[in-house]
Homo-oligomer: A and B are copies of this chain.
Amino acid sequence: MDRKAPNDTAATPAKKITMKHIAEYLNIDRTTVSKAMASTPGVSDKTVRMVRQAAEELGYRKDIIASSLMTGKNALLGIVLADMWRGIYAPFVDSFQKSAYKNGYGVILQYVDKRTIGVRQAIEVLKQQRISGVTFISGATSEEDNPALIELAESGVAVNTTVRDLLHDRIDTIHFDNRNAGYEAAMHLIELGHRNIVFMGENRVNLTMSQRFQGYKQAVEENGLPSQLVETHENVWPKGMDVQTAYRLAKQLWTGQPKPDAIIGGNDNIALGVLFALKEEGVHVPQQVSLLGFDDLYAILAVPQLTSMRMPIMESGTTAVELLMERLNNPAKQAEAIKLAYEKIVRDSTAAAVK
């Protein structure tokens, strides 16, 4: 019962094939097998071929755990995040996972939360699995966690962050080019002939949005146009709050004079709120007013679908993996701060201004 006939073709490979088995099978040493499988220099091509083929035949799969015990590394990348509710993390995780897989790595998720699990504990958990690299998503860490990140990086684990300043010469970071996105958004409307463009958003607490506003401001001023900021005066979390606020402010805006011929919502939520207000006022989008959002998270949920500056979240997941791979290959390389560009997605909410 513990001996299976070799020609047992039942769907039960059950018995685990180890290097030992393939060594015995070929009458060579198990360490030679190890070297052959690992492409260690100093093994004849012939042996390598023999071993590889035997491995194939016997259905050998390397035991990652045992390997990991020796090498101290595991082909696993970690993602540390605070919350997946905000929506924008899902595509990040998705693309990160896909890229990692292509590179032969698995992905392990670790959530942090002020009340229950701190960054240090999260790192502890990941280190126990011998992860090779970790990415810390914006919001998961704050200034006070810097020492922990640095310590981790210096212990030989590849590390990067998103939307944080560079904090160490071995920790790469990824940014989103919000300022330029704001600039391009405004230029799009200006080129369509709009002269009176309003930016609506929260400009004090939210750095992302204030950068978008700065870009907008530069564009209109360069073109001799007035800049107007309508502040939502609220923290944008929880999501949805800003829809209602934007709605209220847009209604209000329509009681005054002059009325804008184009509106930029600092994110899609805000644009959505404005859209509802305009519908109620009987204002047609884009015939009378052009409307534009940011992030492209909810843009296609609108009627008409919104022109939006798409946040390169998918790209950021891929980039995060690439940075980790580069650093694993060259641990001493100088830290990079990569700035990802937004993509302008033109849909039906923006059109040429009427004369």
The interface of chain A, by Cβ under 8 A from chain B, is: 11, 61, 63-66, 68-69, 74, 76, 83-85, 87, 89-91, 93-94, 97-98, 101, 106-111, 116-117, 124-125, 128-130, 147, 151, 239-240, 243-244, 247, 269, 272-273, 276-277, 279-280, 282, 298, 300-303, 305
Copy number in this complex? 2
**Complex Cα gap A222–B165 (Å):** 62
**Complex Cα gap A5–B147 (Å):** 23
Which of B69, B108, B109 contacts A66, CB < 8 Å?
B69
A-B CB contact pairs (8 Å), 28 listed? A11-B147, A61-B124, A65-B65, A65-B68, A65-B128, A65-B129, A65-B130, A76-B108, A83-B94, A84-B90, A85-B91, A85-B94, A90-B90, A94-B111, A101-B111, A106-B108, A106-B110, A106-B125, A107-B108, A107-B110, A108-B108, A109-B109, A243-B303, A244-B303, A244-B305, A277-B303, A279-B280, A298-B298
* Contact yes or no, B11 A305, CB < 8 A: no
Closest B residue to A104 by beta carbon equals: B125
Closest B residue to A68 by beta carbon equals: B65
Closest B residue to A303 by beta carbon equals: B276
Q: Which residues of the other chain, B, contact A110 by a CB distance below 8 angstroms?
A: 97, 106-107
Which of B84, B279, B300 contacts A279, CB < 8 Å?
B279
Q: Which residues of the other chain, B, contact A94 by a CB distance below 8 angstroms?
A: 83-85, 111
Q: Which residues of the other chain, B, contact A66 by a CB distance below 8 angstroms?
A: 69
Q: Which residues of the other chain, B, contact A301 by a CB distance below 8 angstroms?
A: 240, 243, 269, 272, 298, 301
**How many whole Å from A15's CB to the nearest CB in chain B?**
12
Which 9 pairs between the two chains have the least Cβ-Cβ distance?
A240-B300, A279-B279, A84-B94, A276-B303, A90-B90, A84-B90, A247-B303, A64-B128, A107-B109
**Beyond known contacts A107-B109, A272-B301: 17 more, CB 8 A cutoff:** A11-B147, A61-B124, A61-B128, A64-B128, A65-B74, A83-B94, A84-B94, A89-B90, A90-B90, A106-B110, A107-B110, A109-B109, A243-B301, A247-B303, A273-B303, A298-B298, A298-B301
**Given A64-B128, A276-B279, A276-B302: A111 and B90 within 8 A (CB)?**
no
Which of B76, B124, B305 contacts A240, CB < 8 Å?
B305
**Complex Cα gap A90–B91 (Å):** 9
Q: Which residues of the other chain, B, contact A11 by a CB distance below 8 angstroms?
A: 147, 151
Q: Which residues of the other chain, B, contact A300 by a CB distance below 8 angstroms?
A: 239-240, 243
Q: Which residues of the other chain, B, contact A68 by a CB distance below 8 angstroms?
A: 65
**Complex Cα gap A243–B97 (Å):** 29
* Contact yes or no, B129 A64, CB < 8 A: yes
* Contact yes or no, B93 A84, CB < 8 A: yes
Closest B residue to A14 by beta carbon equals: B155
Q: Which residues of the other chain, B, contact A83 by a CB distance below 8 angstroms?
A: 94
